[in-house]
Amino acid sequence: MSTLITGATGYLGARLLRRLLEDGEQVRALVRDPNRLGIEHPNLEIVRGDMLDADSLARAVHGCARVYHAAAVVKEWVTDWSIFERVNVDAYETLLKICRSGGVERVVHTSSFMAIGQTDDAPGRIADETTEHEPHHHHNPYERTKYLAHLVTKKYVEAGVPIVTVNPGVIYGPGPVTEGNLVGGMIIDMTRHRFPGVPGNGRTRWCYAYVDDVVNGHVQAMAKGRVGERYILGGENVTLDEFVERAKDELGRWVPTMHLPLFLLMIGAHGMEQVAKLTGKAPMLTVGKVGVIKHNWAYSSAKAEQELGYAITPFAEGIRRTVADLRERGLVPPPKRIRGDAVPTEPRA
């Protein structure tokens, strides 16, 4: 029987799709635009449809034993904010209803570290799967709807749907620079005078998860994950200062490293959002993004390592591969120095 994947044209989903095909699986992909897949394979069946269309969901699930649900709205700015709840929560629940009636053997749901919540108050400021998100404290619609989707998961597990949840950290690595590839976009900005400095004091830590590690974690969760459990698929917990320094070293170019006060960023974000409402053009910075930046988002992947065999790529190696891929795609320029020389502390004229 086939394996269904939703979100197959996304940053993570596209990589997962290729992995499943490499493993010899019969794969069915639900996509809105088949041309965006950019892949043809004898083991790949394409179902044209939409997460918001229950009929196309039913067609996609029919005859599938396993489902990877990686589809989600991850945008920072939209004109219709209801799209987050309609896709990330309501459509997910519709999918689970269809899986229950169709006798699907297992669902792996791609959640997010944001469904667990910020970790400022966690022991050592590092959280694990036992940490519960505060029900009414969210920085943006994505975080809110990923938390609500977690509640939907719990409801359907109790109803007998065999769901395993994975919670990736901040996913980064080679691949197209989409809205799901935040790190790739930041590194490009560093080379195009769109990165004015490090937000805040630079000491907040985020959990960076290399994309191929996360793909492996999905496959492992399908094979070995316990139904009703969630598994953090993370990586090294790295401060913003450390991230910028590592990226700067790999780029071999001058990058601003001064710290930008969060209150000034928040003022700027409010102004940019007001302009965006008038122009319809997405702002460079949002209030929600500043709200996220000021917190720690650091997690332990020990449970996934112990139960699934999850393995973490060192952050330094992951960033090296990421920059190399961006350079190969022509998205970042070559270094201005020989690797190993000192990085200039001031921009050159």
According to DSSP, residue 183 is labeled H
Q: What per-residue string of b and e applies to 234-269 under the rule 16 or more CB within 10 Å gives b?
A: bbbbbbbbbbbbbbbbbbbbbbebeebebeebbebb
Q: Give CA–CA dist 274/281, Å, rounded.
A: 11
User: Does residue 349 surpass a pLDDT of 70?
Assistant: no
Q: Give CA–CA dist 98/59, Å, rounded.
A: 10
> pTM for the complete prediction?
0.93
Q: Give CA–CA dist 59/48, Å, rounded.
A: 9
Mapped onto helix, strand or coil, the DSSP state of residue 9 is: coil
User: Does residue 24 surpass a pLDDT of 80?
Assistant: yes
Q: How many CA atoms lie within 13 A of 143 on its CB side?
A: 20
pLDDT digits (tens, 9 = 90+) for 51-110: 999 999 999 999 999 999 999 999 888 888 999 999 999 999 999 999 999 999 999 999
Give yes or no for a contact between 297 and 170, defined as CB atoms under 8 angstroms apart. yes
């269809």: which residue's tokens? 98
Average pLDDT of the residues in 114-122: 94
Give yes or no for a contact between 110 and 12, defined as CB atoms under 8 angstroms apart. yes
User: Does residue 3 surpass a pLDDT of 90?
Assistant: yes
Give the per-residue pLDDT at 252: 96
- Considering the chain, what percentage of its residues have pLDDT values greater than 90? 88
Q: Give CA–CA dist 228/106, Å, rounded.
A: 11
Average pLDDT of the residues in 274-291: 93
- Under the banding of pLDDT at 50, 70 and 90, the label for residue 1 is confident
Give the per-residue pLDDT at 223: 98
Using alpha carbons only, how large is the chain's radius of gyration in Å? 20
Which of the pair, 137 or 30, is modelled with greater confidence? 30
Give the per-residue pLDDT at 336: 84
Give the per-residue pLDDT at 348: 44
Residue 55 CB coordination number (10 Å): 9
pLDDT digits (tens, 9 = 90+) for 237-279: 999 999 999 999 999 999 999 999 999 999 999 999 999 999 9
Class of CATH domain 2-176+206-239+297-321: alpha beta
User: Does residue 341 surpass a pLDDT of 70?
Assistant: no
pLDDT digits (tens, 9 = 90+) for 125-169: 999 999 999 988 899 999 999 999 999 999 999 999 999 999 999
Q: What is the mean pLDDT of the chain?
A: 94
Give the per-residue pLDDT at 315: 98
Give the per-residue pLDDT at 54: 97
- Considering the chain, what percentage of its residues have pLDDT values greater than 70? 96
Helix (H) or strand (E) holding 6: strand 2-6
